[in-house]
Amino acid sequence: MKFYDLIWLIPIFPLLGALINGLVSNRLGLKKSVTDAVAIAGSGLAWLLGWAAIVQWALELGIHNTHIVSLFSWFQGGSLRILDGSVAEVDVAASFQLDPVSALMVAFVTFVGFLIHVYSIGYMHDESDRAYARYFSYLNLFMFSMLVLVLGSNMAVMFVGWEGVGLCSYLLIGFYFEKEWCAAAGMKAFIVNRIGDWGFLLAIFATFMVFGSLEFTEIFPTAAAHPETYAAAATVIGLLLFVGAIGKSAQIPLYVWLPDAMAGPTPVSALIHAATMVTAGVYMVVRCNVIYRLSPTAMLVVAIIGGLTAIVAATIGLVQNDIKKVLAYSTVSQLGYMFLAAGVGAFVAAIFHVLTHAFFKACLFLGSGSVIHACSGEQDIRKMGGLKKYMPTTYWTFLAATLAISGIPIFAGFFSKDEILAKAFEAGAGNLNTFASTYYALWAFGMVAAVLTAFYMFRLVFVTFHGEFRGGEEAERHLHESPWTMTMPLVVLGVLSVFGGLIGFPGKLFHHPEWNLIERFLEPVILPIGHAAESGGHVSQHAVSLGLEWGLVFLSVAAASFGIWLAYRFYMGAGAFVRPRLLAERFSFAYRLLLNKYWVDEIYAATVIAGTIKLSRLLWEFDARVVDGVVNGTALTTVGSSFISGIFDLKVVDGAVNLVAKSYEVASREFRRLQVGYAEGYVMVMVFGAAILLGVFYLVKL
Amino acid sequence: MIITATHYVVLSLILLCLGLIGVMVRRNFITVLMSLELMFNAVNLNLIAFSYRLDDLSGQVLAIFVITVAAAEVAIGLGLIIALVRVRDTVALDEADVMRG
């Protein structure tokens, strides 16, 4: 059996699950065990088939062969003159492809997705049967969309998944739609995502106008073979694509939806807003790496946005008190790292960080869900504390994931984050696209953000799990470790957070570059550009000496350790919470600035939203005054003209008719007198008439 | 005295004039109807007289036809009288003046 020919089935399983749960279980309110079975089957089969297909494809066809399964011609029609002067037919196929990037994404999306399904069974068991079915239906639908997104072999199919995950995130964030703020958060996510989707859509149109095709396997080799021809177009397409990525992956200025997205159930936060959906933007940028490498401008924009987002989100995360909000801002910050990596040309590092981030962030979110579950829905870390002894499994997995995100050696996040920082430094040292100083600055941002990350993550750990419980006695009695359906995924993800990074082991440092498995695996995706390797976007291997690289490694470890030490000093031991309070008082403006997230939401409300409302009002006024005025004017004219034509009808037309009648009346007035009404009279007339006729006949003698 | 065709014609003329005068001057619908009948029979008498004189039976045949038609006419006339009585409660002809111009 050729599993790799069945990759189209991978998204179909969750889709079926979503349909059954959404249309049958939800309507009929079937028992939770039925819903469980369907949802687990939908995601589990996708996982098994996905892995089987990937393994078989890698072994039988080899990772250098992009395997495309084309199902049918999706839409076609018309033709277009494209950039190179030839005429291209519009013909887009519904097809899926298996190549190293999509394989990697499928592998962890199905796997992490499956674990989160399992976890959700434990987490959502208090919901009503119908809400439960609705939840799992959405979750499966999300899996479907995400798999379509990563498996699609052209931009159109990718866009279907792209929109699908946007829809599912709206549905799941607004899952508790009875609460107004949850529904509002859902809408916010959807609208902000739409802004990004607009960019992606324009990018698709631009791609078609330039290349005459949307197939990845057609446009990228073409672009890579003629870098000079397509350089200008690549800037436009790259920037438009990045607008889409900004929206989906929550980068400045469109990151505002992600923290609000925590309104959804916690497993949703883990699945969508940490492990998979938000990585779609990174995936897309990596997928289109050829386009970006042709355009230094687009690369620079990606790197700057990524670097800024990494540090801005990290600073906000420092002072938040909602456990999920801290994790949300940390997600935004980590996504910034990924874009920084993509922006400096380290696409492999970007995907590597996506992968490790999926492990440790899913683990962190599921851990926080476990904590919230134990604290009866409480999310404020100031009302937690000392949970370590009540829920050891959650604690240890949470700690492992925290060490991973902080970048402590051996743990997964260390390898990926360190590689990103090293590549950013290399970009500066190698004077990439002659923007050396900018790239050095971005590397410095990344370094500072690494310190901040370690600090706020360990703040979370210390405040939540250490010290004394601060939530009152009543709540303390309820503290318990979560059921096995919740802890099992935690343990799996915790283990992966520890060891998952080894697939990207920086063998280069030990003169064994071949130890870096992920780089070798993803190598076919990074197409060589032009004739030589030294053209745009490629950094010389020897821009940074080995010694300096080791120095960078130690520097980043030191940065992380410093952050942890700071968090320990602030939140542990006798003087816990004293220093932060003093600091907050001394720099009260800065504290309030961070606590209120730079007032970005307020600024948006005052500018963009108020502006939109003003504009809408203006348009409404225009509608009411001008458009309606024209309509009403027309109506008035019609009434007036009907009035005139009514008078005409009455006087002229009716007058003519009446005139005819009148003329008959006048003409017949004298004849009326003949009709006297006496039969005798008529007889008399008849007799005399006959007599006269006889007389005439007699005289004339006819 | 030999009765000739002239006698019949004169009698017929007298009967016709009597009927005509009756129709013209009387107001009673029934009398008018009877006067009409008198005129029919004056004509019949004339037809039969000439039939006999000219030895031609077609005159008599025509007379039979006239009697038949007269019977029908009387039926209609009596119907009209009843209708008039119902509407106006009278048999006076000059009461039937609805169609006066």
Q: Can you tell me whether residue A345 is helix, strand or coil?
A: coil
Cα–Cα distance, B55 to B50 (Å, whole number): 8
Q: Chains A and B: how many Cβ contacts under 8 Å?
A: 35
Cα–Cα distance, A107 to A50 (Å, whole number): 7
User: What is the mean pLDDT of the segment spanning B38-45?
Assistant: 93
In a domain, B44, yes or no: yes
What's the pLDDT score for residue A702? Answer: 62
**pLDDT tens-digit readout, A502-523:** 888 887 788 777 788 888 888 8
User: What is the mean pLDDT of the segment spanning A244-256?
Assistant: 90
In chain A, residues with a C-beta closer than 8 Å to the C-beta of B32 are 679
Contact yes or no for B96 and A679 at CB 8 A:
yes
In chain B, residues with a C-beta closer than 8 Å to the C-beta of A677 are 94, 96-101
* A248-252, A501-505, A597-601: which is most confident: A248-252
**pLDDT tens-digit readout, A369-427:** 999 888 888 888 888 888 888 889 999 999 999 999 998 888 988 999 988 998 898 88
- Is the pLDDT reported for residue B55 higher than 80? yes
What's the pLDDT score for residue A539? Answer: 46
Where residue B100 falls among pLDDT bands split at 50, 70, 90? low
DSSP classification of residue A412: H
Mean pLDDT of chain A: 88
Contact yes or no for A680 and B100 at CB 8 A:
no
Concatenating the DSSP letter of every residue in A213-235 gives --BHHHHHHHHHH-HHHHHHHHH
In chain A, residues with a C-beta closer than 8 Å to the C-beta of B99 are 675, 677
What's the pLDDT score for residue A537? Answer: 45
- Is the pLDDT reported for residue A498 higher than 60? yes
Nearest CA among A416, A391, A404 for reference residue A338: A416
Bridge partners, residue A89, by sequence: A79
User: What is the mean pLDDT of the segment spanning A157-170?
Assistant: 92
Q: Quick check: bond before A221 cis, omega within 30? A: no
Contact yes or no for A675 and B100 at CB 8 A:
yes
What's the pLDDT score for residue A532? Answer: 43
Cα–Cα distance, B10 to B26 (Å, whole number): 24
- Is the pLDDT reported for residue A526 higher than 50? yes
Contact yes or no for B24 and A683 at CB 8 A:
yes
Kindly list the residues of chain A whose beta carbon comes within 8 Å of any beta carbon in chain B. 671-680, 683-684, 687
pTM of the model: 0.77
Among A66-80, A209-223, A538-552, which is the least confidently predicted range?
A538-552
In chain A, residues with a C-beta closer than 8 Å to the C-beta of B35 are none
Bridge partners, residue A91, by sequence: A76
Query: A261: which 2 tokens?
Result: 């997205």
What's the pLDDT score for residue A126? Answer: 83
**pLDDT tens-digit readout, B58-98:** 999 999 999 999 999 999 999 989 988 988 888 887 777 77
What's the pLDDT score for residue A683? Answer: 81
Contact yes or no for B99 and A687 at CB 8 A:
no
**Mutant choice from A678, A685, A686 vs B, greatest count of B C-beta within 10 A:** A678
Nearest CA among A357, A80, A392 for reference residue A214: A80
Q: In Å, how far is B68's CA from the nearest CA of chain A?
A: 23
Contact yes or no for A680 and B20 at CB 8 A:
no
DSSP classification of residue A482: P
Where residue A533 falls among pLDDT bands split at 50, 70, 90? very low
**pLDDT tens-digit readout, A4-45:** 888 899 999 999 999 999 888 888 878 888 888 999 999 999
Among A472-486, A493-507, A560-574, B57-71, which is the least confidently predicted range?
A472-486
In a domain, B70, yes or no: yes
Angle at A569 between CA A567 and CA A575, to 5 degrees: 125
**Mutant choice from A680, A682, A685, A688 vs B, greatest count of B C-beta within 10 A:** A680
Angle at A336 between CA A545 and CA A63, to 5 degrees: 70
- Report percent pLDDT > 90 for chain A: 43
**pLDDT tens-digit readout, A608-627:** 888 889 999 999 999 888 98
Where residue A63 falls among pLDDT bands split at 50, 70, 90? confident
3-state SS string for A132-171: HHHHHHHHHHHHHHHHHHHHECEHHHHHHHHHHHHHHHHH
- Is the pLDDT reported for residue B101 higher than 60? no
In chain A, residues with a C-beta closer than 8 Å to the C-beta of B25 are 680
Query: A513: which 2 tokens?
Result: 């570059």
Q: Which residue has the higher pLDDT, B9 or A510?
A: B9
Nearest CA among A14, A7, A11, A6 for reference residue A38: A14
Contact yes or no for A677 and B24 at CB 8 A:
no
Cα–Cα distance, B84 to B87 (Å, whole number): 5
Q: B residues 7-36 near A, CB within 8 Å? A: 20, 23-25, 27, 32
What's the pLDDT score for residue A540? Answer: 47
- Report percent pLDDT > 70 for chain B: 97
- Residue boundaries of the structural domains of chain A: 674-700
How long a stretch of residues is chain B? 101
Q: How many domains does chain B have?
A: 1
- Is the pLDDT reported for residue B25 higher than 90? no
The residues, any chain, with a CB within 8 Å of residue A257's CB and separated by 6 or more, are A185, A188, A189, A191, A192, A193, A250
Query: A136: which 2 tokens?
Result: 């799992």
Which residue of A671, A676, A680 is in closest CB contact with B100?
A676
What is the domain extent for residue B62?
A: 28-92
Which residue of A673, A674, A679 is in closest CB contact with B93?
A679
- Is the pLDDT reported for residue A131 higher than 70? yes
**pLDDT tens-digit readout, A294-351:** 988 999 999 999 999 999 999 998 888 899 999 999 999 999 999 999 999 889 999 9
Would you tell me the crossing angle of helices A546-571 and A392-406 to the nearest 10 degrees? 140
Cα–Cα distance, A350 to A403 (Å, whole number): 19
Angle at A437 between CA A435 and CA A440, to 5 degrees: 110
What's the pLDDT score for residue A10? Answer: 92
User: What is the mean pLDDT of the segment spanning A131-146?
Assistant: 92
Among A156-160, A513-517, A634-638, A653-657, which is the least confidently predicted range?
A513-517
- Is the pLDDT reported for residue A536 higher than 60? no
Q: B residues 53-72 near A, CB within 8 Å? A: none
What's the pLDDT score for residue A403? Answer: 93
